[in-house]
Structure 1
Amino acid sequence: MALLEVKNLSISFGGLKAVDNFNIGIEKGQLYGLIGPNGAGKTTVFNLLTGVYKPNAGSVELNGVNVTGRSTIEINKAGAARTFQNIRLFKELSVLDNVKAGLHNHYSYSTLEGIFRLPRYFKVEKEMDKKAMELLKVFGLDEECDYRASNLPYGKQRKLEIARALATEPKLLLLDEPAAGMNPNETAELMETIRFVRDQFDMTILLIEHDMKLVSGICEKLTVLNFGQVLCQGDTGSVLHNPEVIKAYLGE
């Protein structure tokens, strides 16, 4: 059974079908790419999968659970976490506190325990600090744990966003254009980071990306969207050499 099974997913905005009968199946542990020209509907698909939008039709199953139309928080708790094309960190908080923000699904104390600093508050905070530091060390950010997130270089902010997403302990990680704004050296490092995350965390990853070097280098399978519809699906090599895919990108 696929970890993510999407059938006939559709949504319209003002009469325009932004996504039309979208289907995808992603197996556990796969590194899967969703590509297509600008405006093809890729981010809309991510928004449907993570509860930002509610579909007009179709279904989404995550690890055998129907999460169609559920809220973002419910879908996150069911096991899906995402990053964004435009980095959305808590920029005035520390690097450590950004990761801790992702841990609250699994660590909690009551409002009274927090206000009066009761023993459970300190116990939970200590556990969260330990877990957050473990994640930061994986990404080489542990020595910058007290920095403001806004003071990190761009490439490290991308890593921090991934670390925060992983703090929610997802089964499926959705990366929205993770290489956007990166130079070639940062992109090469990001490729290694994504592979490491998949292997180290036994993670299933779905990513949107325009950098074809990154896509061809790490994605095992691809789905190509064009005008909200699936144009092509299959192994990365065959999809990237498909004449219809080349035509869609070059506009010829």
Structure 2
Amino acid sequence: MALLEVKNLGISFGGLRAVNEFHLHIEKGCLYGLIGPNGAGKTTVFNLLTGVYRPNEGIITLDGEPIIGKKTIEINKAGIARTFQNIRLFKDLTVLDNVKAGLHNHCKYSTVEGILRLPRYFKVEKEMDEKAMELLKVFDLDQEARTLASNLPYGKQRKLEITRALATKPKLLLLDEPAAGMNPNETKELMETIRFVRDTFDMTILLIEHDMKLVSGICEELTVLNFGQVLAEGKTGDVLNNPEVIKAYLGE
């Protein structure tokens, strides 16, 4: 059974058909890419998968369970986490506190326990500190745990955003243009990080990306979206050599 199954997904905005009859099948453990020209509907698909938008029609199942109609936080708890093209960290918080924000989905105390600083509050906070530090150590960010997120270099901010997403314990990680704004060295390190995340956390990853070197270097399968519809899908090498894809997307 596929981890993510999408069938006949569609949505319109004011008469404009943004996504039409979109389908996607991603097996557990796959590193999958969603590519296409600007305005093709890729981010709209991510917003549909995460509950930001509700489709006009179609089916989305995660691990066999339907998720359409659920709120964004409910979908996150069900197992989908995402990053954004424009990094959305809590930049006035420390690196540690950013990761703890992701842990709050699973480690909780009541409002009263927090306000009154009851024993459970300290117990849960200690557990979150330990779990956050474990994650930061995995990504070599533990030495900067007390640093403000805004003071990290760009590449490390991107890595922190991925770490925070992993703190929510997802089954499926969505990466929205993770290489945006990166130099070649940062992109190379990012590729290693994504492979590391998939292998270490047994993670399934779906990413949107325009950097074809990154896409061809790490994605096992691709779907190409054009004008809101699937243009091609399959093994990465086959898709990137598809004449229709070259014409529509690569401009060659």
Cα RMSD after superposing both structures: 0.7
What is the CA distance between 1:251 and its match in structure 2? 4.5
Q: Which runs of 5+ in 1 are unaligned?
A: none
Per the alignment, residue 13 of structure 2 pairs with 13
The alpha carbon displacement at 1:42 in A equals 0.2
1:118 maps to what in 2? 118
TM-score (norm 1): 0.99
In structure 2, C-alpha distance between the alignment counterparts of 1:10 and 1:43, rounded to whole Å: 13
% identity of equivalent residues: 83
Give 1:215's aligned residue.
215
Matches within 5 A, 1:72-221: 72-221=72-221
Quote the residue 2:224 is aligned against: 224
What CA deviation, in whole Å up to 9, does each residue of 1:31-88 have, x standing for no partner?
0000001100000000000000000000100011000121101100110000000000
Q: CA deviation at 1:118?
A: 1.0
Once the two structures are TM-superposed, the CA of residue 250 in structure 1 deviates from its matched residue by 4.2
Counterpart amino acid of 1:13? F
Letter in 2 for 1:113: E
Equivalent AA in structure 2 for residue 229 of structure 1: Q
Counterpart amino acid of residue 148 in structure 1: L
- 2:58 is matched with 58
Matched residues, number: 252
Q: Which residue is equivalent to 1:23?
A: 23
**1:212-235, Cα deviation, whole Å (9 max, x unpaired):** 000000000000000000000000
d(CA) in 1 for partners of 2:115, 2:12: 46
Q: TM-score, normalised by structure 2?
A: 0.99
Structure 1 residues 109, 250: closer, same or farther in 2, change over 3 A? closer
Rounded to whole Å, the distance in 2 between the matches of 1:146 and 1:52 is: 32
Offset from partner CA, 1:162-195 (integer Å, 9 cap, x none): 0000000000000000000000000000000000
Q: Give 5+ residue unaligned stretches, structure 2.
A: none
